[in-house]
Amino acid sequence: MRCLFIFLIAVLLASCGKEEAKPQARPPTEVSVVKVVLRDAPISFEYVAQTESSRQVQIVARVNGFLDKRVYTEGSMVKAGQIMFLQDPKPFRASLDAASGALAEQQAALQTANQNLNQVKPLAELKALSVKDLDDATGQQQGAAAAVQSARANVDQARLNLGYTTITTPVTGLASYARVQEGAYVNAGNSLLTYVSQIDPIWINFTLSENELLRYRADVDSGKIRPPADNAYVVEAVLADGSVFPNKGRITFKDAEFNQQTGTYLIRATLPNAEATLKPGQFVRARLSGSVRPNAVSIPQRAVLQGAQGHFVFVIDKDSKAAMRNIKAGEWNGDEWFINEGLSEGEVVVTDGMLKLAPGAAVKIVDASAAIPASAEKKPAETGNEQPKK
């Protein structure tokens, strides 16, 4: 018992000789940051759009008759004046021959009437013939002249009808498939033979809602957006795979009124398309560039977090400690985000490592840069939330 008592005392004395363990201080969290700067950021607007032929022409048969041959290749590019279909010309050639014969007959009758009138006139002046005889000769001559004119018109019509049997295209473009096959009888009921769609230049149609247009005008009036001079937007077509059509165009048409059924405002851009890359009916995105957001605050999208009270970021104060800052985020700007409220020029925002942070935590900056809008370094930003002024 005495031994146990001595052992316990020795243990207590040993524990009293030890210092209490102190908690280790947490090392600063390593973060990457950007410094907020105010810059004029080029911006662009994107809309769902559809391509359309700048001139689609119906190729129709102008005369009734049998279709002899389709000359063009369906789906191919055809040039203005190129022959596309041939109708059986034999009946029309025969009609032309008949009309030419009738014209020759009437011309002979007119010659006889002229000679008769020339003989009657001097005799009537000498009172050798009555006035009635002169009137009859004059009437015959005038009737013969009118008959010649009518016969000549019939010849012209017959020649036109014969020419219509050779069917050509008035425009250069892509030819559609043949609606009527060779050997079929063509009349008013099936006169449409095919279409030719001019694709150089090509149209791109897109629409704006009334709310979009009003919102854009409000941004322009407040100075939030500065449009290009004379609203001369540069228009690009973004294809379905994300690639950008290389040829750029301009807005060439704005409708006079809103569509009453859809409540939207039609806008059309015209783009060169000599390589026939774009086809009518394609769905693309029309990208309009040329506007600028003056003195914009723009930070990388990865720096913006979202909580129960909305968007927020972490900023670094002068003591190298993190502070949570609520912000009002605007539109996406390429890989960045416009910040409408909550940040000022010169503030330092965390872009990487913020998931390990808590308000008041010490930080160590390992990478710092200026918050330069990606659009200012590469290309105009893409956003669908702003609308061009019309």
pLDDT in tens, 36-76: 999 998 988 999 999 999 999 999 999 999 999 999 999 99
23, pLDDT greater than 70: no
Percentage of the chain modeled with pLDDT above 90: 65
Burial of 126 (C-beta count, 10 Å sphere; 0-12/13-18/19+): exposed
What is the 3 state secondary structure string of the chain? CHHHHHHHHHHHHHHHCCCCCCCCCCCCEEEEEEEECCEEEEEEEEEEEEEEEEEEEEEECCCCEEEEEECCCCCCEECCCCEEEEECCHHHHHHHHHHHHHHHHHHHHHHHHHHHHHHHHHHHHCCCCCHHHHHHHHHHHHHHHHHHHHHHHHHHHHHHHHHHCEEECCCCEEECCCCCCCCCEECHHHCEEEEEEEEEEEEEEEEEEHHHHHHHHHHHHCCCCECCHHHCCEEEEECCCCCECCCCEEEEEECCCCCCCCCEEEEEEEECCCCCCCCCCCEEEEEEEEEEEEEECEEEHHHCEEECCEEEEEEECCCCEEEEEECEEEEEECCEEEEEECCCCCCEEEEECHHHCCCCCEEEEEEEEEECCHHHHCCCEEECCCCCCC
CB-facing half-sphere around the CA of 34: CA atoms within 13 A: 23
> Is the separation of the CB atoms in 63 and 69 below 8 Å?
no
Sequence-separated (6 or more) residues with CB below 8 Å from residue 39 = 295, 296, 298, 372, 373, 376
Sequence-separated (6 or more) residues with CB below 8 Å from residue 378 = 334
Angle at 385 between CA 204 and CA 263, to 5 degrees: 60
> Is the separation of the CB atoms in 81 and 71 below 8 Å?
no
User: What is the distance between the alpha carbons of residues 299 and 313, in angstroms, rounded to a whole number?
Assistant: 10
Residue 325: its pLDDT value, please?
92
> Is the separation of the CB atoms in 322 and 316 below 8 Å?
yes
258-267, 353-362, 364-373: which has the minimum mean pLDDT? 364-373
331, pLDDT greater than 70: yes
Percentage of the chain modeled with pLDDT above 70: 88
Residue 381: its pLDDT value, please?
44
pLDDT in tens, 344-357: 999 999 999 888 88
How far apart are the two ends of the chain, measured CA to CA in Å? 102
Domains and CATH numbers, the chain: 29-41+296-383 (2.40.420.20), 45-53+200-292 (2.40.30.170), 57-88+166-197 (2.40.50.100), 90-164 (1.10.287.470)
pLDDT in tens, 232-242: 999 999 999 99
Q: Which residue has the higher pLDDT, 385 or 165?
A: 165
pLDDT in tens, 99-146: 999 999 999 999 999 999 898 888 888 888 888 888 888 899 999 999
Q: Which residues pair with 5 in a beta bridge?
A: none
Residue 128: its pLDDT value, please?
81
Closest CA to 272 of 310, 293, 245: 245
pLDDT in tens, 26-37: 788 888 899 999
12, pLDDT greater than 60: no
User: What is the distance between the alpha carbons of residues 238 and 246, in angstroms, rounded to a whole number?
Assistant: 9
390, pLDDT greater than 50: no
Indicate the residue type of 376: A
